[in-house]
Amino acid sequence: MLRRLAFTGVFAACTAVTPIAGAEEPKHAPDLVAVADPDFGMESSVRTFMSLGRVFRRYEEIFPEVFRNTGLPLLPVLERIARFGLLDAPFADMQMIVIHEVAGHGARGREIGKSPTFSFKLPEPYRTLFSPDDEEKNFTRRRDTGTRNVDGDLPIVLGGVESNYLTAHWTNLALVASAGQLHFMDRMVYMLSKTTYASSFLGENLATASLSGGDDIIAYAAQLAERFNQFTPAERRQVATRVQTAYVWNLVDPTLMWSFWTTIYDGFGRGKRVSTMPLPVVRGHHVFLSPRFTLSPFGAEHYVDLFAGKAPWVADVYFRFGTSGLATYLGAGTKVLDVPVGSRVRAGGEIDAWTQPVIDRSARAFYDRPNSAGVNVAAIGSVAIVGPLSITGKLGYKSNGFVMGLPIGDGPHGYLGIALRP
Amino acid sequence: MKVGLVLVAAVGGVICTAGGCERLEDPCVVSAELPIAGVPGATAGTFVATEARTPAVLFLSREATPDAGLNAGAFATIPTGATVLVLDEAHRGETRRETFKAPARLAARKGSTSSPGIIWLGGAALFHWVESTTTTEPDGRTKTSAKLVLQTIDSAGVEKPAVEPPEMKCDDCRLDVAGLHIRGTTLITFAITPAALAIGGLGGPATQPRVGAFAIGPSGEILPRALPAIIANQPRGLPRFDVIDGTLVLVGPMLVPVDGDLNVVGPVLPRPGVLETAAILDGDPILVWASATQVDAGREALLPSEPNVLVQRFDRSGRPISNAQRITTSPAVQAIARSGDRLGVVHRSGKQYFALARINGEKIGGDIVVSDTSANDDVRLFGESSSFHLLSVSDGRVVRREMTCAP
């Protein structure tokens, strides 16, 4: 409890002394939040680390561009590329990795009572410069002994990329809430989040590695095959092939493509830190149809999101389905954020419903399971306290089942903290 | 945190409370253990391989004695006697017990005794052991000579003369023996393994055992028997006898049904891998075994995790009629039984588990904990009316557990 209070206090102090106003930021940027729940779960941690990233990227005020207004045609571009390589990319990489390890693997581990430890390496290019012989990766280590169970291990293994895909989803929510505006660094983190482990997803080793060896994706494919009794080499290869094929859905993403293009054209070429995606407008509301992707305990999971918003609020309606061929898993839901209610309150909520195989961490070698329907209901809101400072939180209740970013078990869930309106 | 009333219901195989559905329903309920017989003070016990419908359990009495043949402080345990419990047809109690003292010659041994065992003859017991004697040759080299000793004693304590089969002697070797008594005949298998040669202070190459078998006639005469070639030509340690569903079987690199003269009388079945194999031989044979390796693109590789427990069906000629299906993972398979169109398998991975499957090997539900202890007990599984019961022997007791399964 003391750690949580200290963390929230430090964050509040940082945001108080580094006002966002004056920097190039989206006009309707979402609130900065520092929220936590007793387990530092995935959604609260992802949102908090995303906000921390927005705070720390204020370094660009300390290092203004030198050649921007010199009128020279090439030097400003070269300077932006150098700044990208030495500042922007390493920082975005660190943010993505911290989310992956702490808010991803760590959150899923803490959810089942584990106490993970973390190891981080220098981001490139500093790793090549200062520790060229270090071949270790960033990793999360769980400190538990005894028999491990696939139902307990699978969510931890996939939790890393799940948190990255959740980051991308919350970025799309901010994109629509901000009328299509997105900061250069948010686009960087988005691209890194969406393409993490791409080489593993698309590589040749996916179907050949062991239950405990290899990286997250190789271990995931092996454990997924184990969970569904695909024990022969041919069956394991088929499971891995389906994961690889499904991954293409993750890359056919308009925000990803737009981010890549604007990083080069707006970011390097024109020196613009904030770009605007041309979102369709229907009756004065921005709308956006977008795919979403994640790994789940049953295989790859695909979403279609329909976003709609008019600053400051945003809404999302989605449906999801699985393509692993190992089970039937479907769902749908909706989320609404930041609807003004009076002058001091913003309210929202979410509802999700699904059918999927039961997740039971006490089960052993239970391959063919019945499906169970589930539901999640939550209220999300904030109340202004003084000036830009608000109390914000979420409180909900869900039944047992996998929902991206939420605890798997049944029961109440939510988080509480502070928000700062930029 | 659960709010409100807790309502437990099994809905479509899932246990639900007011808070949600997160526990899967086990397909069977395992009862607590019920002791049905025992021998106070006995430790290890095993089921006797017998063609009778009523199981018999043999318990040994042992005492630890310093072994003069080993390093100081080492102890050998020599059986001082045995008790055989014969259970009733319902497997709920014993009908009689027979107690035997060890022959005086064995009891007098204080060491240099290996491969002790007992074969129950029904009313009498045949004790077998290997006596080792170490001598120093005139050239200073030590030589260890081993010989097999057989002696029958009845429940009244009357000893028959000890028999030392002339062929069961060897020097600088290891002599292993096992046997059983079936249909009036006592059958013995043996393996003689020469000691590895020491070459220049290093160990020599591993040596293959010479395996064989013989029978003991009514008057104690030794009657040679020829092992089936498939066992004799591929020795994998000591072949042993077992009785599965009333069929006498030689267990070696294959499972070979034989008669009293060791003629092959049924389908020869594979005994895959080096881990335990259990079988059903009543009707079309069904095998279950734990395999720590897997073949991929022609290459065999060790599995990185627990061995796969595989089930496969064969026809009466021993040809497979189904692919091997995995029903769980475990390093040790203990028993298999059939109940209608279902199979029950008991295996041990730390804890002891029961797995239920359809006759085609399709798993039903998950593994169910039978026992939390890690003791390596001997078990027999029996199937009846879509349910099963398990008899386990350990710590001087025979206990019974019911596995009541949903239809």
- Nearest CB neighbour to B23, from listed A229, A362, A368: A362
More confident residue, B381 or A77: B381
Chain CA centroid to CA A330, Å? 21
Q: What is the mean pLDDT of residues B168-179?
A: 90
Give me the total of CB pairs closer than 8 Å, taking one residue from chain A and one from chain B: 78
Q: What is the mean pLDDT of residues B309-337?
A: 93
Interval B209-231: pLDDT, tens:
889 999 998 888 899 999 998 88
Nearest CA in chain B to A366: B366
Interval B301-322: pLDDT, tens:
888 788 999 999 999 988 999 9
If pLDDT is split at 50, 70 and 90, which confidence band does B77 have? low
- B294 vs A359: CB contact, 8 Å cut-off? no
Cβ B282 vs Cβ B254: under 8 Å = no
- B1 vs A409: CB contact, 8 Å cut-off? no
Which residues, in sequence order, are bridge partners of residue A388? none
Min Cα separation A359/chain B (Å): 6
How high is the pLDDT of residue A163? 98
Interval B106-162: pLDDT, tens:
888 877 788 888 999 999 999 999 998 888 989 888 888 999 999 999 989 899 999
Q: Does B328 contact A at CB distance below 8 Å? A: yes
How high is the pLDDT of residue A350? 98
- A369 vs B327: CB contact, 8 Å cut-off? no
Residues of B in contact with A355 (CB under 8 A): none
- A358 vs B21: CB contact, 8 Å cut-off? yes
How high is the pLDDT of residue A117? 85
- A370 vs B329: CB contact, 8 Å cut-off? no
Quick one: CA dihedral B90, B94, B100, B102, positive or negative? Answer: positive
Instruction: Extract long-range pairs of A113-122: CB within 8 Å, 24+ residues apart.
Output: A114/A142, A114/A143, A114/A144, A114/A156, A115/A143, A116/A140, A116/A141, A116/A142, A116/A143, A117/A141, A117/A143, A120/A94
Quick one: CA dihedral A209, A211, A216, A218, positive or negative? Answer: positive
How high is the pLDDT of residue B205? 59
Phi, psi of A133 (to 5 degrees): -90, 0
How high is the pLDDT of residue A16? 43
| Chain A residues 182-221 with a CB less than 8 Å from chain B | 210-213
- A370 vs B350: CB contact, 8 Å cut-off? no
Q: What is the mean pLDDT of residues B9-17?
A: 48
* Triad B91, B92, B93: Cα angle to 5°: 100
Single-letter residue type at A393? G
Cβ B117 vs Cβ B177: under 8 Å = yes
Which of A116, A86, A113, A88 lies closest to A100 in space, CA to CA?
A: A116
Residue B73 has pLDDT above 70, yes or no: no
Q: Say how far apart CA B41 and CA B62 lie, in whole Å.
A: 9
If pLDDT is split at 50, 70 and 90, which confidence band does B71 have? very low
Interval B250-301: pLDDT, tens:
988 888 999 999 999 988 998 775 567 888 888 899 999 998 888 877 888 8
If pLDDT is split at 50, 70 and 90, which confidence band does B194 have? confident
Q: Does A328 contact B at CB distance below 8 Å? A: no
Q: CA B208 → CA A409, B120, B236, B289, distances in Å? A: 57, 30, 8, 25
pLDDT tens for each residue of chain A, 422 residues long: 566 555 555 555 444 433 333 457 888 889 999 999 999 999 999 999 999 999 988 887 777 777 777 777 788 888 888 889 998 999 999 999 999 999 999 999 999 888 888 888 888 888 888 888 777 777 777 655 544 678 888 999 999 999 999 999 999 999 999 999 999 999 999 999 999 999 999 887 776 655 555 789 999 999 999 999 999 999 999 999 999 999 998 999 999 999 999 999 998 888 889 999 999 999 999 999 999 999 999 999 999 999 999 989 999 999 999 999 999 999 999 999 999 999 999 999 999 999 999 999 889 999 999 999 999 999 999 999 999 999 999 999 999 999 999 999 999 999 999 999 98
Listed in order, strand segments (DSSP E) in A212-280 are 274-276
Q: Does A232 contact B at CB distance below 8 Å? A: yes
- Nearest CB neighbour to A366, from listed B20, B296, B366: B366
User: What percent of chain B is modeled with pLDDT above 90?
Assistant: 47
DSSP B248-288: EEEESSEEEEB-TT--B-S--EE--SSS-EEEE-SSS-EEE
Q: What is the mean pLDDT of residues B1-15?
A: 41
How high is the pLDDT of residue B74? 46
Nearest CA in chain B to A227: B328
Find the range with the poorest average confidence among A88-92, B6-10, B93-97, B367-371.
B6-10
Q: Say how far apart CA A108 and CA A100 lie, in whole Å.
A: 11
Instruction: List all residues 6 or more positions away from A319 whose beta carbon is below 8 Å from its beta carbon.
Output: A303, A304, A330, A331, A332
- A229 vs B23: CB contact, 8 Å cut-off? no
Residue B10 has pLDDT above 60, yes or no: no
How high is the pLDDT of residue A419? 96
- Nearest CB neighbour to B308, from listed A212, A231, A412: A231
DSSP A282-337: ETTEEEEEEEEEEEEBTEEEEEEEEEEEETTEEEEEEEEEE-SSSS--EEEEEEEE
- B366 vs A364: CB contact, 8 Å cut-off? yes
Residue B68 has pLDDT above 50, yes or no: no
